[in-house]
Structure 1
Amino acid sequence: MAPKPQRRLRLRTRLPLYLLGLLGGLQLIVPDKIWAALLVGMAATLGVAYLWARQMRDRVRISRSSRGQWVVAGDLLEEDWLLQNHSILPVLWAVVRDHSDIPGYAIDRVATAAGEGRYTWRTQGTCTQRGVFTLGPCTASLGDPFGLFEVTHDYPDTRTLLVYPRVMKLPEFDLPQGHTSGRARRSRRATPETLLASHVRGYLPGDSLHLIHWPKSAQQGQLMVKQFDLEPAGPLWLVLDLDAAVQAGQDQESTLEYGVILAASLAAKHLYAGRAVGLIAYGQETCLLPPQSGSAHLWRILPPLAHAAASPEWPLARVLAQVAPDIGRGRTLLVITPA
């Protein structure tokens, strides 16, 4: 359940009260119609301003909503806002200030609404940095037409937003296949449809037509067919070096950010190719994610990469010694390090 907003009303300055006292004293000491008129006018103005401000405090609501709980770095974050005025008096101004900690997400706004009306708007911002951020809280400042009272609405409700690292398209390159266990080899059927293509060759009579590699055929000017390994590729372990001592650069132009993007991109590339991928990332938080296959596993790899932060506690040599028993033999280990 969202916490209730806090609403406050205060007099901006005590000057009107001092003027009322002064005019009242003058009317008692030196009675005159001028003092009486000024006294009545000042009291009426103060009363109207107070009643207006109370309506702004008690009868105005502001809400926000966004789509989804996560985005990818570089994506557009959108929020829909609503100012609902349940008073017969108009909202002459409402200064809405957002206190989210997302870098570059500045969405402050001045809104108005007619009596018993509503005002909607949409804010947008680009999520330039991966990580875990907070949407909210926000505050709204309102007032009366005379500027005598200030009304403040504090909305403490917050929501966590996870910004995943970007996944880039990588050039083609070969990695060692590694080995699967004997049981895994026996459990898989050695059919071309279930294995990874390793290279192409010229078409020979009897080759299945659905194995033709059409882009290569067009490039070579003759029919080319895919060749498959008889041994399925073993698991691939990605090791991201988060040792603070070897990192360089700042913010988005740092080796840390490049390493995170490369790890995410490699994971996506090999998972979509059907290979099992695991992740080792020891920094301010430790992550040892066993290899699994399937595109759904990418969404298990991306969250720890979004949290990844460098730490001096885990130099690469210590990490490799720590995880060696969990990796096993015959596995492909790909280390991403600026060292």
Structure 2
Amino acid sequence: MLEQIVTWFTGMQRRMPAPPVVRPSQPAAGESRPLARRFDPLSALWNRGLPAEVQIAHRVIWPLFLLPIVFFNQLVAPHPVWVVLGIALIVIYSVALIWVRGQARAIAVHRKRSVGVFVAGDSLRQEFELSNSSPLPVLWAEWIDHSTLPGYSAGRVVGCGANSSYRWHMVAECRQRGVYQLGPHELRLADPLALFQLTIHYNEVDVIVIYPRVAHLPIVALPHGETSGAARRRRPLTGPLPSASVRDYRATDSLRYVHWPLTAHRGSLMVKELEIEPSGGVWIVLDLNAAAHRTVDEVSTLEFSIVVAASLAAELLTGGDSRAVGLLTVSGHEPLGQATSGAASTGVIGAPHPALEIHEQAVLVPPQAGPAQIWRILAALAPVQPTDVPLAELLRTSRSALGRRGTVVVVTPQIRAAAGEAPWTAELLHLESAGLAGSAVLIAAPDDPADAGAALRTALLYQDVPVQLLRAGMSLPSALTFRRTRKVVRSTPTGGAVTYEVEEEVS
């Protein structure tokens, strides 16, 4: 019998070198248990009968290797010291193992986050509760957070008494628009001597969408007859209005609009420019070319362009003209799968559109009217990232998708080149010749001079393309407001706590 025991411990010593501290990670798809549990015989012994998300790992194993020496010394030179030492090692490790296994099924963490719509700049609140139903106290427990929300970390070290619970909360500012995940999480604790580590994996993940901020913009000039809101005067329901102005003849103009008296007076062909009722949709084309955007002192022309695109869509959709507004851009973000499907239905999102013969991910929201379209466009703008597709290529490959008799509003930071040196201006003029009305919103960086883009604006205005210049970082008041209900916990003078709901209007 003694020979069998010595042989078993000797074989175990050969098979089991002292391992480092185990750092369990989230199991891959298709794995029911961590790899350490598969290939470690002792780990399989510690974790027998436990759920797959619970793992017990030994942190200090080398004292167990003294047992063969103790048994050998007891056989060679019997003495009570060896017996006491052997029993002490077995008892200490047995008690430590019973401690962590007793808490493996009795400890749970519940989390609850504030619900509602989150816009960049809002606060996110999460409440956590560690409950312990075992008769043993939790001396320390490390809560590890693997969320991807920037600036958010709910990790901390807490403790809990026997048959009790402990609560804490985390409040973080939603600094950056995007699609993020809250979770997964891990709870790590150990026995009093830290001989064994208990890790409980919480693989539940909540997807949270941070929408871009919507602000009040200065009056954005649209083509003649396409202005919306209070800036537009009363018009008849159908049909053209008398000519509002005249301009030089273009090759694509019809001869029936030639103003013959003025042509004879000036000696060159002049055509009448009629103001017609709005028809078709308004396409907002957002330039996300990484080479065109800059960041100066934490002010990004990319983020400001997204705010401008979202704000322009909101103003056109909530105006009195009931215009249909769509979005077209090309983003460099990875496919989100079902990440945004629960937030809003956004038409063609996450898959290339047939009209876009490019190798990037097209984000296309077909024009629709109504307030619901605002959230579709915001959901489409939330995850977008810079790409290497130039604006000119986007306009050229999207001609069939944009259709005819609509309006194209280009939002771009490309203001340094003159019109003849900017390829996207030629593509915009080509769309105008095909029946689309064009407009441009230029985004200047904070350090650009006051006359930045003057040559480009002059050239576009000469081609009767309305231009508006906005400077990134300028103060824009919030425009999108909604009401939501949140819970507030207040302490009482006697040391208790009172929870009540508060309804507030946020922007």
Instruction: Classify the TM-score, shorter chain.
Output: 0.7 to 0.9
Give the whole-Å Cα distance in 2 for the aligned partners of 1:110 and 1:233.
61
1:169 aligns with 2:244: no
Match of 1:147 among 194, 197, 202: 194
Separation in 2 of the partners of 1:305 and 1:157? Answer: 26
Looking at structure 2, the residues matched to 68 and 127 of structure 1 have their Cα atoms a distance apart, in angstroms, of 14
Aligned mate of 2:388, from 304, 312, 315? 312
Distance 1:324 1:92 in 2: 66
1:198 aligns with 2:231: yes
Quick one: distance in 2 between partners of 1:23 and 1:251?
67
Residues 265-276 of structure 1 correspond to what in structure 2 (within 5 A)? Answer: 265-274=311-320, 275-276=322-323
Q: Distance in 1 between matches of 2:60 and 2:382?
A: 48
TM-score normalised by the chain length of structure 1: 0.77
| CA deviation map 1:149-198 (0-9, x unaligned) | 11111222222222211112223454346469xxxxxxxxxxxxxx9533
Give the AA of the match of 1:86.
S
* Residues in 1 aligned to 2:297 and 2:130: alpha-carbon distance in whole angstroms: 36
TM-score relative to the length of structure 2: 0.53
Shift of 1:26: 3.8
Give the corresponding residue for 2:367.
Answer: 291
Matched, 1:238 2:284: yes
Counterpart Cα distance in 2 of 1:98 and 1:5 = 19
RMSD of aligned Cα (Å): 2.8
Shift of 1:299: 0.3
Deviation, structure 1 residue 42 = 2.9
Indicate if the aligned counterparts of 1:70 and 1:161 stay in contact, CA closer than 8 A: no
Q: Are the counterparts in 1 of residues 210 and 382 from structure 2 also a CA contact under 8 Å?
A: yes
Structure 1 stretches lacking a partner, 5+ long: 181-194, 200-226
Deviations 1:183-225 (A, max 9, x none): xxxxxxxxxxxx95337xxxxxxxxxxxxxxxxxxxxxxxxxx
Structure 2: which 5+ runs fail to align? 1-31, 33-50, 238-276, 333-360, 415-507
Which amino acid in structure 2 is aligned with residue 141 of structure 1?
Answer: R
**Which has the higher relative contact order, 1 or 2, with Cα contacts under 8 A spaced 6 or more apart?**
1
Count of residues paired in the alignment: 295
Task: Look up the equivalent residue of 2:302 and give its one-letter code.
Answer: L
Higher strand share: 1
2:134 paired with 1:134: no
* Residues 59 and 176 of structure 1, relative CA distance in 2, 3 Å threshold: same
Aligned to 1:282: 330
3-state SS of the aligned residue for 1:309? coil
- Equivalent residue, structure 2, for 1:249: 295
Whether contact under 8 Å (1:177, 1:332) holds in the other structure is no
Deviation, structure 1 residue 139: 1.3
Letter in 1 for 2:331: G
Which of residues 143, 155, 162 is equivalent to 1:96? 143
How far did 1:272 drift?
Answer: 2.0
Secondary structure at the aligned position of 1:119 is classed as: strand
Q: Do 2:60 and 2:194's aligned partners in 1 also have CA atoms closer than 8 Å?
A: no
Deviation at 1:237, TM superposition (A): 2.2
String of CA shifts for 1:311-333, please: whole Å, max 9, x gaps: 223x2223223333444444332
Matched residue SS, 1:39: helix
Q: Distance in 1 between matches of 2:303 and 2:296?
A: 9
CA distance in 1, matches of 2:177, 2:52: 30
Counterpart amino acid of residue 159 in structure 2: T
Tell me, yes or no, if structure 1 residue 44 matches structure 2 residue 91. Answer: yes
- Does the aligned pair in 1 maintain the 2:64–2:89 contact within 8 Å? no
What's 1:160 paired with? 207
Identical pairs, percent:
37
The yes-or-no answer on 1:332 pairing with 2:407 is yes
Q: In the alignment, is the contact (CA less than 8 A) between 2:99 and 2:136 conserved in 1?
A: yes
